[in-house]
Structure 1
């Protein structure tokens, strides 16, 4: 037992501008993955707690939020972004203490969301309809884009603030209100974001937070007043959520898993490649949907590049993610650590060779932390379980290839299609490969890049819809067609006109 461990903090739901304890009094505990000690205790929300949050969101949608002009709503979003940036250090610290990712990355994400809120705040008053030139010239027909109502945002643990804002910013800019259910692993930052929103002047009830596990999520998806569900997480959970929402004919925005290919041709700059491949899989301990977990190296450089990666992987410093010199923190949960172990063990049984890592790592002074060594596997077959399923840990599978046709077939040979990277000096080949890759994002001579104004989402089983960019706001709108007869002529009701 760590006698220096801090007592677990207590957190309430945030509904209609107020902290609210659960009606049934049930709570759950989250764990700091770096130390293995308790981080905080949160409300295990019941259906009644979820209903209170949805009702608050619906009242805000029908009341103060709808009465604001789009321009005013947009300016409030911008002010919210300013406050989040001002509190980035606090937000980053509580997220690192919950998910074990590097403080530097969490800090950057907490600051970057200001750009997202400025972008979507600026789009709020640029949602326009159009006049349709009908053949019936006596009729004025125009379209209006209107918000849906209450949006449920179910957020994962790996980048909680960043992914919350990616969902919530376009939803609010479109005029909706939201109920956020964060992951049980990282619930604290969502509560902080809701409080800051109200400090920015966003009316109470526009943003509500309920914490809890599967039961709370199901109650939110099933609630009759929820007009849309936005979910980021695994493809298995996404299927279950889409099926439940489909029973009510409610649409979903799904950003799901990936098994992204990182392709390197023999004319690529190996210094750039080394940095890009490492960042793509180890920088966040592999805990990102866009992790470049399948690496394909052309045979002329395969041995040399693999050797460089092994050397670098052996030198990666694991430790406390709150310290500046730590290069990789723990994985977020004990369950994720066990998954990393079991998937690597299964890969070895299937014939893979561990080139480096492949086991838990003990870090001095953090004996109870959830650390797993940076791992590289060779000799993995294309149909092996580890090549077809997301690990969500620091595990890289490397495979040699000869031709463009061969590697394109290998890269596309999974049910996922979230992202892909390719490295080459031949721009003709780069663009032809980008055209052939079945992925929602393709990076050329870079990896793991994202921007507020560039759409993001997956092909195949990696999701439905797009976040970021102007496309995102359309996901949270519905189109109304308005017909107005301008003529005073009386039409015979029994004579139809074309």
Structure 2
């Protein structure tokens, strides 16, 4: 990909992606600083994108405000038809979107294709689900008729992450639009291209101003969006530290936020568990986006009596993982940036210095010619990890799995709950009593029993503690992107 003098990024297949922000259905030049976007697999320059300055942020919010009333006034069937058409366009350009997502993020091409399919599914799911979303009639006094209506917030800001641009974009934007909101989207500055591309593809489908997209970093563009008095609701996915700053900025305007932040998700493996299934889940946590997922199970708390066998199975599964450029569809791709790669390597080295054992993955940074220029980290399993170690409580965001031991149920729960995070958790056991007890005692927004999946449009998702507030996915998202209005009708007494 290259940037030409006319401000166009030429994508694979010759698609010309205009530079700027998508505001009111047209590409508007940005006036912020230039930012380079790199291919994580090679370290080479992909494109140079000019960021949106506060003036462009204001214009995008004003555009969304102007379009919102008309969009909300459309019937649910009209909005449904437009969202289904958006899904059709996504599918029509699925191959291009997947390639751009892979070059932008480094993830394996097959995973990018899955994420494009997920984007299609989100738009179709919420297009149809919005038909079945309504208020309630509430029994009250005999002379009162009380009902609730669900109304859109108005203008919703979406600040999306770099690890899954298309699936995260669609996860928030589709339900927002389905219930009558208009949106302003700021993709991550590390991987903005697939979001800008899908915005370009959909600009002829969605009415002008319904979806506006402004590229830029958090300090300039994101801060201007979060503090803009013209937004009515804000959704952010990213780090805890940034999420706190974003929510504080929005709170100054009394704007509610939905925050999906970090995770250090625990899986507890009991002696009666299917160890092969548990080890496969542990290995899969490294494979999905090279461990760069906030919901990944990255703390396996294993009963001491089966720990050796579990670790053997996990090391065996990890050692066979192929690694290489995502465009060649290896099992593991690179990390998103050199900074992220260096952070992961340093965390592993600190864990080893603190007493953890590197069971596999000792050569953390590959030196082979085909990998040395990219930001790769060898998949790593750490055993002999204790709860007091930093690696046991701090999100790594890389292909690093940790194994801790426990001797009784209370200890397992104490270790699992012993971090600031509470996004997801899992329990591996054949004992329904244990599974039931732990589903209640684990402090997490989602608990899965005897497996782990991240997909499913219908499955509510979100965290507790420092992992965030609010819920995405399923009908919970429709609740989150609307507000309740209560209507009370006073009836005349019967004659």
TM-score range, shorter chain: over 0.9
Distance (Å, rounded) in 2 between the aligned partners of 1:421 and 1:133: 40
Indicate the SS of the match to 1:283.
Answer: helix
Distance (Å, rounded) in 1 between the aligned partners of 2:321 and 2:54: 45
TM-score, normalising length from structure 1? 0.92
TM-score, normalising length from structure 2? 0.93
Indicate the SS of the match to 1:381.
Answer: coil
Distance (Å, rounded) in 2 between the aligned partners of 1:104 and 1:202: 28
Distance (Å, rounded) in 2 between the aligned partners of 1:362 and 1:110: 32
Distance (Å, rounded) in 2 between the aligned partners of 1:311 and 1:274: 9
Structure 2 unaligned spans of 5+: 10-18
Indicate the SS of the match to 1:284.
Answer: helix
Q: CA deviation at 1:7?
A: 6.4
**Structure 1 position 95 matched with structure 2 position 107:** no
Structure 2 contact 185–214 (Cα < 8 Å) conserved: yes
**Structure 1 position 194 matched with structure 2 position 181:** no
Indicate the SS of the match to 1:420.
Answer: strand
Distance (Å, rounded) in 2 between the aligned partners of 1:129 and 1:327: 46
Structure 1 contact 466–472 (Cα < 8 Å) conserved: yes
Q: CA deviation at 1:450?
A: 2.4
* 2:23 counterpart residue number: 15
Distance (Å, rounded) in 2 between the aligned partners of 1:7 and 1:207: 24
Distance (Å, rounded) in 2 between the aligned partners of 1:432 and 1:77: 41
Q: Which moved more, 1:353-362 or 1:177-186?
A: 353-362
* 2:34 counterpart residue number: 27
1:110-189 mapped onto 2 (5 Å cutoff): 110-135=116-141, 137=143, 139-189=144-194
* 1:286 counterpart residue number: 291
* 1:41 counterpart residue number: 48
Whichever of the two has the greater Rg, that structure is 1
Structure 2 contact 156–176 (Cα < 8 Å) conserved: yes
Aligned residue pairs, count:
480
Distance (Å, rounded) in 1 between the aligned partners of 2:271 and 2:486: 55
**Structure 1 position 66 matched with structure 2 position 72:** yes
* 1:267 counterpart residue number: 272
The structure-2 alpha-carbon separation of the partners of 1:381 and 1:61, relative to structure 1 and needing over 3 Å to count, comes to same
Structure 1 contact 154–180 (Cα < 8 Å) conserved: yes
In structure 1, which of residues 324, 343, 347 is the aligned counterpart of residue 347 of structure 2? Answer: 343
The structure-2 alpha-carbon separation of the partners of 1:488 and 1:195, relative to structure 1 and needing over 3 Å to count, comes to farther
* 1:495 counterpart residue number: none
Indicate the SS of the match to 2:189.
Answer: coil
Distance (Å, rounded) in 1 between the aligned partners of 2:79 and 2:202: 12
**Structure 1 position 322 matched with structure 2 position 327:** yes
1:232-311 mapped onto 2 (5 Å cutoff): 232-311=237-316
Indicate the SS of the match to 1:14.
Answer: strand
In structure 1, which of residues 194, 199, 207 is the aligned counterpart of residue 211 of structure 2? Answer: 207
Structure 1 contact 268–425 (Cα < 8 Å) conserved: yes
Structure 1 contact 290–448 (Cα < 8 Å) conserved: no
Root-mean-square deviation (Å): 1.9
Indicate the SS of the match to 1:306.
Answer: helix
* 1:443 counterpart residue number: 448
In structure 2, which of residues 347, 355, 361 is the aligned counterpart of residue 357 of structure 1? Answer: 361
Q: CA deviation at 1:414?
A: 0.7
* 2:229 counterpart residue number: 224
**Structure 1 position 411 matched with structure 2 position 416:** yes
Q: Which moved more, 1:306-315 or 1:404-413?
A: 306-315
Q: CA deviation at 1:155?
A: 0.3
Distance (Å, rounded) in 1 between the aligned partners of 2:37 and 2:99: 15
Q: Which moved more, 1:469-478 or 1:357-366?
A: 357-366
